[in-house]
Amino acid sequence: MVKKVNFGRTNFNTHLIQIMSTKDQIREDVTIRFAGDSGDGMQLTGSLFTNTTALLGNDLRTLPEFPAEIRAPQGTVPGVSSFQLQFGSREILTPGDECDALVVMNSAALKANLSLLKKGGTIIANTAGFDKKNLSLAKYPDGVNPLEDGSLSEYEVIKIDVSKLVKEALSDTDLGYKDIERSKNMFVLGLLYWMYNRPLDSTIDFLQQKFGKKKPEIAAANINVLKAGFFYGETVELFNSRVTVKQAELQPGEYRNITGNEALVLGLVAAARKSNMPLFFGSYPITPASDVLHGLAAHKKFGITTFQAEDEIAAVSSAIGASFGGSIGVTSSSGPGIALKGEAIGLAVMLELPLIVLNVQRAGPSTGMPTKTEQADLMQAVYGRNGESPLVVLAPKSPADCFEMAFEAVRISLEHMIPVMFLSDGYIANGSEPWKFPKSDDLAEINVAFEGPRTDEDSATFMPYSRDERLVRKWAIPGTEGIEHRVGGLEKEDGTGNVSYDPDNHQKMTNIRRQKRDNVAFNIPEQTIDQGVTSGDTLVLGWGGTYGSIRTVVHQLRKEGHDVSHAHLRYINPFPKNFEALLKGFDRVIVPEINDGQLVRLIRSEFNIPAIPINKVKGRPFGVAELKEAIESKLAAEIL
């Protein structure tokens, strides 16, 4: 049961959701996709629909997809921006493979997205986007209009001249053409709210907060258009039926909707507060990590300092400088930026200082596909530095999980004086899901102790690289009397920290740094089985953003009687200490990844088992059906 709280100040039409005509059909889950030109506001439309849906108590997952260009050529296929979400009354872990309804604001959007629509699905098309000019921009052959030529006969097509209806809805306002055009997306949103029985309150509240004070006429216009869309659905009865999706049976508690990058920001702030430490964030803007900088910059009152550096190297270097002075040093980027930071991360490994490196992965080498997702930086995280340079690698499994894993990244880095790499990806970062957020009191304290001052009576010289039984050195910060010392990137003698080129010392230090990293395994949870049994025929092993698809597929396979279990790695380097035994309890280990085979190689080389890869690199997450098919084909093969 869901009780609404904080539902917004206005209560417009909330009663509508309780009206269910006989035509209403109840569905367990629905996938819809908004698609339009990158100037059509599809991301905002999708986010608002998501918020409303979350507040109704559905479980959900989202997938925003947009071009890297801010305004790619208008009306063209590369300029199409889309937002997909799946919501339901059951557990929802993926944004859905194929959609039930596809909103297309122009012909390019149809062209780019039609393959993602189920047979028999609904297309809601803005006919104004299918005029001669738009059809030609979308490269339809001369004289061909897919809305008119019968090619969409397998679908339910709802044709609406949104531009015209919006113009009429706003005929008594003084708004200019541009402002009127810009509110088109609200009409569509209103219509979708009608189709799926959603209230308008949360969106009206948003519009009033965003424009109410500065541009009340814009707020009023958008609200009018939103309502116009809703009433249009009610009046015209274009649709076969309205769809109702009941509340999901989530665990009891208070929820909010959250994206991965938002959760990451909150995890860092929470870790700073629970350690009572200042957090210094040095960063350089890069897609899809920039939202972390934006988010943290707004939280200065929590003792957060953000520094937009001149480049990736300065960003990580400034974080190392801050860490030397006793702050939580954090830097963020995506793959290309992480490559630039490599030398400095090696310095932090040598200095043995805390450093958190956030990598929100994107697709491809070099610049690749900045707005598309991939998991291909795992090897870079584990090995991608000169020399033997061991550090800790963690990976969140979902948007909300970014909170806990960011908190863990800070905890481990501070407790072990070691750099930690946090591997998120574009899918997790921009995707969203309901989050049962914790209370501050439920979060563990992180204890930090700096090396204390030494007066003249303490005769022994301070040893900056003396270690405890876990091989962790003390955090000795400037300003502390009697412990003046030097650190650096040159190989050092253990204990004193003095420069040393002694061959045996280098071997010793290499061993120490590796062992120190390995010791982190004693301070992380053991690997659990997400679904299934702890030993048996087949284990599907995943990491990062593939969680939802794997969980959904394994659930289906188990229902069908297969002996398949699912484990999801969140602590990748070092592996949890029970990990090897767990893997060896299965006859077959299948590793699906959005890369060309990286975790699978780590597993094979580390544990000498013939792990089986399933790989895809298309800039998109695994669809449930394609992953199921791929796993089934592996299951059909004989175990070697």
Partner 1 sequence: MVETLIDNFIKEHEADLNTLPKYSGKDFSSDQDVRWCPGCGDYTILKQVQNAMPELGLAKKDIVFISGIGCSSRFPYYMDTFGMHSIHGRAPAIATGLKVSRPDLSVWIITGDGDSLSIGANHFVQLLRRNVNVNLLLFNNQIYGLTKGQYSPASPTGSVTKSTPYGSIDHPFNPLALSLGADGTFVARAMDRDPKHLKEMILRSHQHKGTSMLEIYQNCIVFNDAAFELFTDKKSRPQEAIYLEHGQPLVFGKDKNKGVRLEGFTPEVVELGDNFSKDDLWIHDENDKVKAYILSRFFDQPQTDGEGELRFPRPFGVLYADDRPTYDEGVNAQVEYAKVHHGDADLDVLLRGKETWVVK
Site for partner 1 in 234-273 (CB under 8 A): 247, 250-258, 266, 269-270, 272-273
Number of residues in contact with partner 1 under rule CB under 8 A: 88
As measured in angstroms, the least distance from the Cβ of 54 to partner 1 is 7
Q: Which secondary-structure segment (H or E) carries 481?
A: none
The residues in 201-230 that bind partner 1, with binding defined as CB under 8 A, are 202
Find the part of the chain contacting partner 1 (CB under 8 A) among 114-122, 319-327, 376-384, 535-543. 319-327
Assess contact for 397 and 371: CB atoms under 8 A. Answer: no
The distance of closest approach from Cβ of residue 367 to partner 1 in the complex, given in angstroms and rounded to an integer, is: 20
200 counts as binding partner 1 under rule CB under 8 A: no
Half-sphere exposure of 447 (CA within 13 A, CB side): 2
User: Scanning residues 465 to 494, which ones bind partner 1 (CB under 8 A)?
Assistant: 477-490
Q: Which of 439, 459, 468, 636 binds partner 1 (CB under 8 A)?
A: 439
- Quick one: which of 124, 221, 277, 599 contacts partner 1 (CB under 8 A)? 277
Q: Which of 241, 196, 154 is nearest to 50 (CA)?
A: 196
Residue closer to partner 1 by CB (options 301, 559) is: 301
**Residue 525 CB, nearest distance to partner 1 (Å)?**
22
Residue 622 · residue 546 · CB < 8 Å: yes
Q: How far is the CB of 105 from partner 1 (least distance, A)?
A: 27
Q: Can you tell me the distance from the alpha carbon of 161 to that of 590, in angstroms, rounded to the nearest whole number? A: 49
CA dihedral 512, 515, 394, 603 (to 10 degrees): 130
Among 30, 344, 392, 630, binds partner 1 (CB under 8 A): 344
Would you count residue 57 as binding partner 1 (CB under 8 A)? yes
Nearer to partner 1 (CB atom), residue 343 or residue 537: 343
Our CB check for partner 1 shows the closer of 232 and 255 to be 255
Determine if 387 is a binding residue for partner 1 (CB under 8 A): no
Shortest distance in whole angstroms from residue 1 CB to partner 1: 5
Distance (Å, rounded) from C-alpha 128 to C-alpha 146? 13
Per CB under 8 A, the segment of 55-63, 191-199, 538-546, 566-574 that binds partner 1 is: 55-63
Q: What is the 3-state secondary structure (H, E, C) of 328-355?
A: EEEEEECHHHHHHHHHHHHHHHHHCCCE
- The reply on whether position 55 binds partner 1 by CB under 8 A is yes
CA dist., res. 257 & res. 51, Å (int): 7
Q: Which is nearer to partner 1, 148 or 481 (CB)?
A: 481
Six token digits for residue 39: 């100037």
Q: Binding partner 1 by CB under 8 A: which of 318, 380, 538, 598?
A: 318
Q: Select from 80, 225, 268, 322 the one that contacts partner 1 (CB under 8 A).
A: 322
With binding defined as CB under 8 A, does residue 167 bind partner 1?
no
Alpha carbons 199 and 575: distance in angstroms, whole number:
46
Q: Please select the residue that binds partner 1; options are 167, 299, 467, 601, rule is CB under 8 A.
A: 299
Rounded to whole angstroms, the Cα distance separating 39 from 74 reads: 8
Alpha-helical runs (H) found in 277-334 = 290-297, 312-324
Q: Does 386 bind partner 1 (CB under 8 A)?
A: no
Rule CB under 8 A: is residue 437 a binding residue for partner 1?
A: yes
Tokens 């979350």 belong to which residue?
Answer: 54
Question: Residues 133, 300, 577, 584: which binds partner 1 (CB under 8 A)?
Answer: 300
Q: What is the largest CA-CA distance in the chain?
A: 93
User: 173-208 burial, b for 16+ CB within 10 Å, e for fewer?
Assistant: eebeeebbbbbbbbbbbbbbbbbbbbbbbbbbbbbb
Q: Which of 98, 156, 234, 343 binds partner 1 (CB under 8 A)?
A: 343
Quick check: helix, strand or coil at residue 478?
coil
Tell me: does residue 445 bind partner 1 (CB under 8 A). no
Nearer to partner 1, 451 or 537 (CB): 451
Residue 197, sorted as left (phi over 0), alpha (psi -120 to 50) or beta, turns out to be left
Instruction: Kindly identify the residues of this chain, within the stretch 86-105, that bind partner 1 according to CB under 8 A.
Output: none
DSSP for residue 129? G
Pair 334, 288: CB distance under 8 Å:
yes
Q: Is 492 or 513 the residue whose CB approaches partner 1 more closely?
A: 492
Q: For tokens 């050529």, name the residue.
A: 73
Query: Nearer to partner 1 by C-beta: 1 or 460?
Result: 1
Tell me if 78 contacts partner 1 by CB under 8 A. Answer: no
Burial of 604 (0-12, 13-18, 19+ CB in 10 A): middle
Q: Please, what is the minimum distance in Å from the beta carbon of residue 57 to partner 1?
A: 6
Give the shortest CB-18-to-partner 1 separation in angstroms: 17
**Could you give the CA distance from residue 52 to residue 427 in angstroms, rounded to a whole number?**
21
Residue 20 found at the interface with partner 1 (CB under 8 A)? no
Cβ proximity to partner 1: between 123 and 304 the closer is 304
Q: From CA 262, how far away is CA 291, in angstroms rounded?
A: 8
C-alpha R_g of the chain: 27
Among 278, 285, 536, 597, binds partner 1 (CB under 8 A): 278
Closest distance to partner 1 from the beta carbon of 403 (Å)? 8
- 594 to 633: interface string for partner 1, x by CB under 8 A: ----------------------------------------
Q: Does residue number 506 form part of the binding site for partner 1 (CB under 8 A)?
A: no
* Residue 423 and residue 362 in contact, taking contact as beta carbons nearer than 8 Å: no
Query: Which residue, 487 or 533, has its beta carbon nearer to partner 1?
Result: 487
If one asks whether residue 48 binds partner 1 (CB under 8 A), the answer comes out as no
SS3 call for 531: strand
Q: Quick one: which of 73, 285, 336, 438 contacts partner 1 (CB under 8 A)?
A: 438
What minimum distance in Å lies between the beta carbon of 455 and partner 1?
12
Regarding 402 and contact with partner 1 (CB under 8 A), the answer is no
Q: Does 109 bind partner 1 (CB under 8 A)?
A: no
* CA–CA gap between residue 478 and residue 460 (Å, rounded): 19
Q: Are 512 and 560 in contact (CB under 8 A)?
A: no
10 binds partner 1 (CB under 8 A): no
> Toward partner 1, which CB reaches closer, 67 or 384?
384
178 Cα distance to chain centroid: 33
Smallest distance from partner 1 to CB 132, Å: 43
Which CB, 429 or 624, lies closer to partner 1?
429
Which residue's structure tokens are 């000019």?
133
Cα separation values, 323 from 327, 329, 330, 354, 417, Å: 5, 5, 9, 6, 10
CA atoms of 169 and 149, how far apart (whole Å): 30
324/622 with CB nearer partner 1: 324
Residue 466 CB burial class (10 angstroms; 0-12, 13-18, ≥19): middle
Q: Does 444 bind partner 1 (CB under 8 A)?
A: no
Shorter beta-carbon distance to partner 1: residue 100 or 291: 291
